Amino acid sequence: VFTLANCLFLSAVLFAIGAFGVLARRNLLVVLMSVEIMLNAANLALVAFSRYYAAGGAPLAGRHAIEAGAGSALARAGGGQIFVLMSMAVAACEVAVGLALLIAVFRTNRSVMSVDLGEMRG
Amino acid sequence: VTGIDLAFGAASLVAVGSAALAVTRRNPVYSAAWMMSALFALAVIFALLESQFLAVVQVLLYAGAILVLFVFVIMLLNPDKKALAQDRPPGWLRALAGVFSAAILVAIARGIFGSEGAAGAAFSAPGAPRPHAGFGEIEWFGRTLYDTDLLAFELVSLLIMAAIAGAVFLGKRRLEGAGERGEDEEEREAPGSRAAAGTGPLREPARPAEEIRVHAR
């Protein structure tokens, strides 16, 4: 069912998938895509909280609770959506710079695999 | 269980499945295609969460701009099968990555389902409280953005400016480090030829070898 907890769980699953991609893949292109998936997972959590608080939901509480302080921007109704827009802008910048870096790496190395970047080792 | 619940479930399954496939395909073109499917599914969920504007931006910006950029770069680099076959990390590394991401998942899930009120009323329940009218629509979005969050908006424009400058710099110039190889050798000019031509910032001769030289293409 369509509850806050399930939205957050979906976001956690997507985040874990993205983290797996970042850790296990060697193709830097796919690593960048995995980072995008992780960013999207975080965006989903923000949008879900935004919807929850806008409908007058009470902040979650408990031993492992995810807390947004009462005065914080995230607890403000709709603050999460603005945050997501900013995060999307940051993601776009990150992809532009990341891909430019990737092309620069490819020009010098003829490869986009992270294992071929051994010369970066100190 | 209402229609919205079903839509949410279907979109969730599509998002998780596509993301998993995007991360595991060896060919980055397939990864990009599956990622587009995951991004569309997320746009559907955004729309269900009453953020119509963000759903549109998700499609335009992520599935449109960012993914097209990825596909362009994949075409530009045009990796062959032999290069792609390199992307086969050892089993222990994949197992470690799996354990690590599973640990992240368990930790977050504990936080979510361990908190009081997490079970709360479904967004889709008939009598459930809803956000005020116009919430998440473009007018509300614009008013909030230019009123309460103007500073963040302006700072983002600064960030985008910096990113454009960085991307153009990285994309247009060739950074030659210590270990040039391959084609770079042919393109290197004889020392002094550029100084004789007398153009550009590289006029001064005898630069230290350790310095990274930047050649305009």
Arithmetic mean of pLDDT over chain B? 77
Burial class (CB in 10 A: 0-12, 13-18, 19+), B210: exposed
Residues of B in contact with A107 (CB under 8 A): 174
Q: What are the chain B neighbours of A75 within 8 Å (beta carbons)?
A: none
B206 pLDDT more than 50: no
CA distance to partner chain B, nearest, from residue A1 (Å): 5
Of the candidates B198, B110, B136, the one whose C-alpha atom is nearest the C-alpha of residue A48 is B136
Least confident of A63-77, B81-95, B175-189: B175-189
Amino acid at position A112, single letter: V
Task: Between B92 and A109, name the one with better pLDDT.
Answer: B92
The residues, ordered by sequence, that sit 6+ positions from B160 with a Cβ below 8 Å of its Cβ are: A89, A92, A93
Across the range B15-21, mean pLDDT stands at 94
Residues of chain B with C-beta less than 8 angstroms from the C-beta of A89: 156, 159-160
- Residues on chain A touching B94 (C-beta within 8 angstroms): 24
φ/ψ of A27, rounded to 5, equals -75, 115
Q: What is residue A74's predicted lDDT score, i.e. its pLDDT?
A: 52
Q: Are A102 and A28 in contact (CB under 8 A)?
A: yes
pLDDT band at B20; cut points 50, 70, 90: very high
Partner-chain residue, chosen from B94, B123, B164, that has the shortest CB–CB distance to A2: B123
> Does residue B188 have a pLDDT over 70?
no
Q: Which residues of chain A have pLDDT under 70?
A: 57-77, 120-122
Burial B136-160 (b: 16+ CB within 10 A, else e): beeebbeebbeeebeeeeeebeebe
pLDDT tens-digit map of B153-168? 899 999 999 999 988 8
ipTM of this complex: 0.85
**Above 70 in pLDDT, residue B187?**
no
pLDDT band (50, 70, 90) for residue B55 = very high
Is residue B56 less than 8 Å (CB to CB) from chain A? no
Interface check for B161 against chain A (CB to CB < 8 A): the answer is no
Return the C-alpha torsion angle B105, B122, B36, A37, nearest 10: -30
**pLDDT beyond 90 at B39:** yes
Instruction: Give the mean model confidence (pLDDT) for residues B122-139.
Output: 77
The pTM (predicted TM-score) of the whole model is 0.80
How many CB atoms are located within 10 Å of the residue B62 CB?
25
